[in-house]
Amino acid sequence: MTSIFHPELFKDKIAFVTGGGSGINRGIVEAFLRHGMKVAISSRSQERLDKAATEMQEQTGSEVLAIAADVRQYDAVEAAINATVEHWGGIDVVVNGAAGNFMVPAAHMSANAFRTVIDIDLNGTFNVSRAAFATLEARQGNIINISAVQAAHPMPFQAHVGAAKAGIENLTRSLASEWGGRGIRVNAIVPGPIAGTEGVDRILGQFNLVEQVEGTIPLRRFGTVEEIGNCALFLASPAAAYITGAILVCDGGQHMVNYGPMLGVMRQVDPKL
């Protein structure tokens, strides 16, 4: 795809992307790399990160640092942020993309299952943002959080994810209001269903709903990781210099129909929905 953004848009800029070794977040990393950014990717699996870093460096010629850290553990997150700052001198853009998801009816969800998703998505987003605050302030940087349609439009079997992502959207606005005076912008992207990702597999794949849901989306197709990458390029760039606290929905209009088309299939699992 030909980019409408200048190839050196982010020359000498540094990003730190959680979950950057796979899926949507990897699409964002590749977009950054193709526009001059150096990127540290972080998630739990060092092996997965190393493989992704090697592939992306070969594809783009830009430098990628791979640092394992569980976003639920503040000390590990802080160490990963510090290692990136030591390596490159600072961080200009943080993307909080790490997440956990599975479909489970709330009446059957264990307390630990609920806590686990809140911990990865919401607490993880706070941990990384907090640990990166000093370097972001020093470099007048910005944060991009990754939400989901479930935050504003509740979906059956997604109580944990909806609560976590709604928390992320509120945190986005809270940090945007607190840190605006420190020169840090904080925004969020809401991807709709994105083709070829783990999220679509976990939510739609297991109910064989991929084709059915795709046809109900106003733009009649799933999104691509490149399209979410474009949103991140815009929000991270000087073109968005006056944008903070924004929740940018990129979903082909899915939020307007939400889970309605899935209800029939879901009722086969829980007839009382």
The site partner of 112 among ligand HXC, ligand NAP, none (C-beta below 5 to 8 Å per kind) is: ligand HXC
Reference 72, options 42, 48, 32, 30; nearest CA is 42
Q: How many CA atoms, within 13 angstroms, populate the side-chain half-sphere of residue 211?
A: 1
Q: Are 41 and 48 in contact (CB under 8 A)?
A: no
Residue 59: CB minimum distance to ligand NAP, A: 18
118 scored as a contact of ligand NAP (CB under 6 A): no
The site partner of 116 among ligand HXC, ligand NAP, none (C-beta below 5 to 8 Å per kind) is: ligand HXC
Of the residues 13, 25, 91, 217, which one makes contact with ligand NAP according to CB under 6 A: 25
45 scored as a contact of ligand NAP (CB under 6 A): yes
Q: Are 132 and 53 in contact (CB under 8 A)?
A: no
DSSP code of 20? T
With tokens 């795809």, the residue in question is 1
Site for ligand NAP in 217-256 (CB under 6 A): none
Residue 238: CB minimum distance to ligand HXC, A: 30
Phi/psi at 28 (5° precision)? -65, -45
Q: For the window 150-179, what string marks contact with ligand HXC as x by the rule CB under 6 A?
A: -----------x------------------
Residue 189: CB minimum distance to ligand NAP, A: 8
Residue 222: CB minimum distance to ligand HXC, A: 9
223 strand-pairing partners: 194
The residue (of 42 and 244) whose beta carbon lies closer to ligand HXC is 42
217 backbone φψ class: left, alpha, beta (φ>0; ψ -120 to 50): beta
Q: Are 157 and 116 in contact (CB under 8 A)?
A: no
How far is it, in rounded angstroms, from Cα 9 to Cα 67?
25
Closest residue to ligand NAP, judged by C-beta, is: 23
104 scored as a contact of ligand HXC (CB under 6 A): yes
* Range in contact with ligand NAP (rule: CB under 6 A) among 39-47, 87-95, 102-110, 263-271: 39-47
Reference 191, options 123, 242, 144; nearest CA is 144
258 backbone φψ class: left, alpha, beta (φ>0; ψ -120 to 50): left
110 scored as a contact of ligand HXC (CB under 6 A): yes
With tokens 């090697």, the residue in question is 54
With tokens 């979410």, the residue in question is 228
How far is it, in rounded angstroms, from Cα 98 to Cα 221?
25
Of the residues 14, 43, 171, 185, which one makes contact with ligand NAP according to CB under 6 A: 43
With tokens 């979906």, the residue in question is 155
Q: For the window 194-213, what string marks contact with ligand HXC as x by the rule CB under 6 A?
A: ----xxx-xx----------
91 scored as a contact of ligand NAP (CB under 6 A): no
**Positions in the binding site for ligand HXC (CB under 6 A):** 99-102, 104, 110, 112-113, 116, 148, 161, 193, 198-200, 202-203
**Positions in the binding site for ligand NAP (CB under 6 A):** 18-19, 21-25, 43-45, 48, 70-72, 97-100, 120, 146, 148, 191, 193-194, 197-200
